[in-house]
Structure 1
Amino acid sequence: MKGRSPERVRNELVVSIVDALQGSATVNQASSREIWREMLSDELSSPVEPFSGDRLRPWLLQIVKACTGVGDGPACLVRSLEYVEQQSATVSALWPLVDEWEAVDFFGNADLRPLRPVLLSLRSADLATMARRASRSRVQELPPWCQTGWQVFLRLSGENSPNGELPPSMAFLALCADRLVSDSRADAAEVLRRFTRNQAHTLGLDGVLADWQHSEFPQPAPSLVPAYLMLQFEPDRVEADRFYLSHWRQSDPEGWHPVRGETVHLHRDELSGAVEKLIEDVEERWADLRQPVILEFILPWELLNEPVEWWSKESDSPSPTPLALDYPVVVRSLERLQRASWHRPWHHKWRQLRERPADSHPHWSRPGQDDTYFFHLERELKEDRYAVCLVLSEPPGGDSGTGRREVLAGLRAGVPAMVWHRNDCSDPSFQDAIGEILQDRGLGSLAERVGKWRKEALALGPDAWDQHVGRHLAILLDDPERKPGPSGPV
């Protein structure tokens, strides 16, 4: 049976995009529609005719047709709407249509509709795993609108592959066919295989497809590059004790490509519970991840001394698990991340720590009675390029006390690492522990050494770990090369 013509395939996609746009509150309201139109013009780098007040649908058809005539036009259209609406239902409905437009283009205007009912029936929790396998781990995460095999297939159709390698979308179809056969759905599997064979023949990849289907896909060795979950707390400057919690997931071993999650607005008392739920969700997403996972808390002044590594997982159980039991945990400074004028010395000190750790050394803060001490502390840290770790004399409270002023001097000087006792930095056990942690000149494994002391505290159990210094050790370790994207609030 002959499929739809390429012209009909394209026209029906244009109509589907227009149908979705007509449900947008932005498009149906004059002032917000004009903002969207201006942003779309900027994205396309060409003018978009304003709405003249006639019927809305013909105007939208005209805009969508114009966008489809530009290489990245459909994506520009949705991105510009996303700037106005963020993650609205309309935006979520449009992104799969953009993926479908790119898939049709990739497959030479082929009619993909016969694949749709088969792939829509695939809603396995393994879709992300199958996508990683089909892309040879180049696709680490799927966007939230990829809930079915159909949506994953469309998304992978936009992924490039080296010459002579089976494209990820076709590899994914082969995996789906295998899954359907194992589910006793051979007829559905044949629909996918027939399409894959035809496309492989068209692209001259018959042999590559055969190799894929008749060989066991090699499991990559576990990556030594950690995955990161970055949790950022930004104070609400209007409402006291309220924060914006943003997060980013980074699991790509080939490069730094953090994926931003949702930003939520919470009271301080709700933060630990929100982090617990967030970590549970990320663990489900990363269920098959073979890398170690590191938690990084990007904290403002108000929370810098919060013992975040002792927040709990599974707090509703009789035996909650401290985060420090399952993850290395470090804190970072929100103020430094947001203050670009502090970044140049930060980069200098970090390169010193990373490239010449054996030549790096800590600086112990020992304030006297003279209030000019903090000026001289900053001066000494700036003049000593090998000083990459600051040991505080007091914990940094929320006020303008000694600990906070020491941290400020360290941030201005670009010091990437700071350690302190969360209650009492004059505690002899803390002094002994820090002496052992810092006794080797190489500071490259500072986080691991702090982690060792935390493990010793954990080994004592909940009834006794408060008596161990490892329960109170805090480490700020700030890598300027690992930055999240922009946060939610402005």
Structure 2
Amino acid sequence: MITSLNVDDQHRLVEAILRIDAMSVRRERAVHLSALERDLGHRLEYVQHDKEKLDVWALVDALLNYPGAAQALVRILQTFYPNSLSVRALDELVTELLPEPWLDQADRRELHELITWLERADPGLTHLGRFPMLYRRAVGPAWPTLDREIRSMHDVVALLEEMPAGAEGTPPLLVFVSDLAEDAGHPTAPALRDWVRRQAVAHGLDGMFLQRHRPSLEPRAEPEASENYLVIECAPDALEEARYLVTAWLQVGREPGSTLQCGDEALPLSRIPELLERLLTSERSVVGRRSPDLTIEFILPRALLDHPFEQEKISIAGFEHRIGIRYPVVVRSLDRMRLAAVHPDWRHKWEWLSGNSVDAPVCLVTRRGEYDKEELFSHLSETSKTVLALAFPPWGGANGETDEHWVGLLAGIPVVAWCRDGRDPARFAREAKGLLAEDVMKLPRRTMELRRQALSGGGEGAGTAHLGLHLTLVFDDAERIPEPYVRLRSPA
């Protein structure tokens, strides 16, 4: 560790943090540390202690291990408590004791997020096998080898950031990340190369670094834009009924999702449109996405599967409209994500559907009780049974009973569609046949078109009875599981 303090100065930092009321109690401190981790782009690992002072001492140790972490904590506390004298005192102490880091907050967070992508794309951490060579090449012979076990690249990147430039004026961190890009797989490698190029220009390197590393930094052909997914999870709050811990991710293609909102406060459903509007209009990573395509996915518990989220309205420049006519909106099952026992069937059916999505057979259930539950489960367990259409809404979610919809999810069916207000069997059969007749993988976008038809007067049953106003679509990609759930396989 390059940044270190003597015992007296570290004790001053500990006391300054403890004098802030919200940081003196573990439970409240955890909320701010969660925000800090999101700001940093990685976990802040340290051994926690029962005694408050020892716990904060360990926290300060962790802050000193990561450039900019102490400054980031001060920024977060200033946001929460802008007029606090104790927060101001901590700010002054951090300014006195710790130098300004080399990278700014946004660039550092971007790098740590790229490192996280790399580690998640390689769950076995096989990339660490080449780490000693990359580290030695970056630091040169003047620095000793690391004598500790390497478990993550985050602390290594933090260490390299604090190392001064070598004889040629090249920061070791840039050399390391440049070489790491050569070992990283697509699509992480182009992003790492781009990050290095931008840092070299921003810090006014004299061109020698760019010349020496031109083969690795040469811009590559841009890959085709990937689909963007705004994922909203609503997890039931254990203490307050009818409130939910809401977490939001932005996921690009099959990359790991980046967290946009963490469920620290339990929200009523009435607050979801407000959150959606903020994410869709103000969140930089969403607004600035490279591809205009965006699918909104709601990860929901059973009791919420029938909620008409696609009918929620947002306002843009004073124009209010339903999100379901602007974006494809689909539902995913939170309970199934948490139920590892059904993942193999779910994954197997999704794989089959991915290769046979044109004219995939559909299991149509038009009447409640049409099948005995075990008979339905047996029927849906066939490999080719991947799409389930029901003319009626789920009824067992609130009381935990088994209904046809839940049987379908337990059988691993990845695509389930139903009419929320119930439907005449013959009419629903016609509507479902038209909706599901083509490539099932394009169903989210066709469903959006159906919702548009409902408001433009097109199609059967135009007006309030139009299926587009009452259709719920579960479209559950078994290969794209957002964090924090266990990924079923490494990304393609």
TM-score band, normalised by the shorter chain?
Answer: 0.5 to 0.7
Change in Cα spacing, 1:437 to 1:329, as seen in structure 2 (3 Å) is same
Match of 2:442 in 1: 445
Mapped to 2, the partners of 1:154 and 1:311 lie a distance apart of 50
Deviations 1:373-420 (A, max 9, x none): 1221112111x2211011113112465699970111101111111111
Amino acid at match of 1:74: N
Once the two structures are overlaid, the 10-residue window that deviates more, 406-415 or 349-358, is: 349-358
1:237 to partner: Cα distance: 3.4
Change in Cα spacing, 1:385 to 1:284, as seen in structure 2 (3 Å) is closer
Match of 2:323 in 1: 323
Amino acid at match of 1:258: G
Match of 1:313 in 2: 314
1:360 to partner: Cα distance: 3.5
Match of 1:352 in 2: 352
Change in Cα spacing, 1:473 to 1:368, as seen in structure 2 (3 Å) is closer
Mapping for residues 164-243 of structure 1, pairs under 5 Å: 170-176=196-202, 192-193=203-204, 196-197=205-206, 201=208, 205-206=210-211, 208=213, 220=222, 223=225, 225-243=226-244
Checking the alignment, whether the CA contact within 8 Å between 2:325 and 2:449 is kept in structure 1 is no
Amino acid at match of 1:337: M
Deviations 1:21-56 (A, max 9, x none): 5544499679999xx9xxxxx968xxx898999x98
Change in Cα spacing, 1:30 to 1:480, as seen in structure 2 (3 Å) is closer
Change in Cα spacing, 1:56 to 1:49, as seen in structure 2 (3 Å) is closer
Checking the alignment, whether the CA contact within 8 Å between 1:361 and 1:443 is kept in structure 2 is no
1:209 to partner: Cα distance: 6.7
Match of 1:161 in 2: 181
Mapping for residues 119-158 of structure 1, pairs under 5 Å: none
Checking the alignment, whether the CA contact within 8 Å between 1:243 and 1:268 is kept in structure 2 is yes
TM-score normalised by the chain length of structure 2: 0.61
TM-score normalised by the chain length of structure 1: 0.61
What is the aligned-residue identity percentage?
22
Checking the alignment, whether the CA contact within 8 Å between 2:182 and 2:216 is kept in structure 1 is no
1:232 to partner: Cα distance: 0.7
Mapped to 1, the partners of 2:50 and 2:393 lie a distance apart of 59
Deviations 1:131-165 (A, max 9, x none): 79xx9xx99xxx9xxxxxx99x9998974433899
1:171 to partner: Cα distance: 2.2
Checking the alignment, whether the CA contact within 8 Å between 1:389 and 1:416 is kept in structure 2 is yes
1:258 to partner: Cα distance: 0.7
Q: Please tell me the root mean square deviation across aligned C-alpha atoms, in Å.
A: 5.3
Checking the alignment, whether the CA contact within 8 Å between 2:367 and 2:425 is kept in structure 1 is no
Once the two structures are overlaid, the 10-residue window that deviates more, 226-235 or 403-412, is: 403-412
1:359 to partner: Cα distance: 7.4
1:268 to partner: Cα distance: 2.6
SS of corresponding position for 1:387 = coil
Checking the alignment, whether the CA contact within 8 Å between 2:228 and 2:291 is kept in structure 1 is no
Match of 1:334 in 2: 334
Mapped to 2, the partners of 1:439 and 1:51 lie a distance apart of 61
Mapped to 1, the partners of 2:374 and 2:351 lie a distance apart of 24
Match of 1:105 in 2: none
Mapped to 2, the partners of 1:211 and 1:373 lie a distance apart of 61
1:423 to partner: Cα distance: 1.1
Checking the alignment, whether the CA contact within 8 Å between 1:157 and 1:169 is kept in structure 2 is no
Match of 1:415 in 2: 413
Mapped to 2, the partners of 1:389 and 1:57 lie a distance apart of 52
1:445 to partner: Cα distance: 2.6
Deviations 1:253-295 (A, max 9, x none): 5x42111232131123223223322332336653252251111
Mapped to 1, the partners of 2:373 and 2:5 lie a distance apart of 68
Checking the alignment, whether the CA contact within 8 Å between 1:393 and 1:420 is kept in structure 2 is yes
Checking the alignment, whether the CA contact within 8 Å between 1:227 and 1:250 is kept in structure 2 is yes
Change in Cα spacing, 1:274 to 1:368, as seen in structure 2 (3 Å) is closer
Unpaired stretches in structure 1, ≥5 consecutive residues: 1-6, 37-41, 93-111, 144-149, 177-191
Amino acid at match of 1:162: E
1:75 to partner: Cα distance: 5.8
Mapping for residues 38-437 of structure 1, pairs under 5 Å: 64=61, 74=65, 89=77, 159=177, 160-162=180-182, 170-176=196-202, 192-193=203-204, 196-197=205-206, 201=208, 205-206=210-211, 208=213, 220=222, 223=225, 225-251=226-252, 253=253, 255-260=254-259, 261-263=261-263, 264-282=265-283, 285-314=286-315, 317=318, 319-358=319-358, 360-367=360-367, 373-382=372-381, 384-397=382-395, 405-426=403-424, 429-437=427-435
Change in Cα spacing, 1:22 to 1:208, as seen in structure 2 (3 Å) is same
1:89 to partner: Cα distance: 4.3
Amino acid at match of 1:323: I
Amino acid at match of 1:377: L
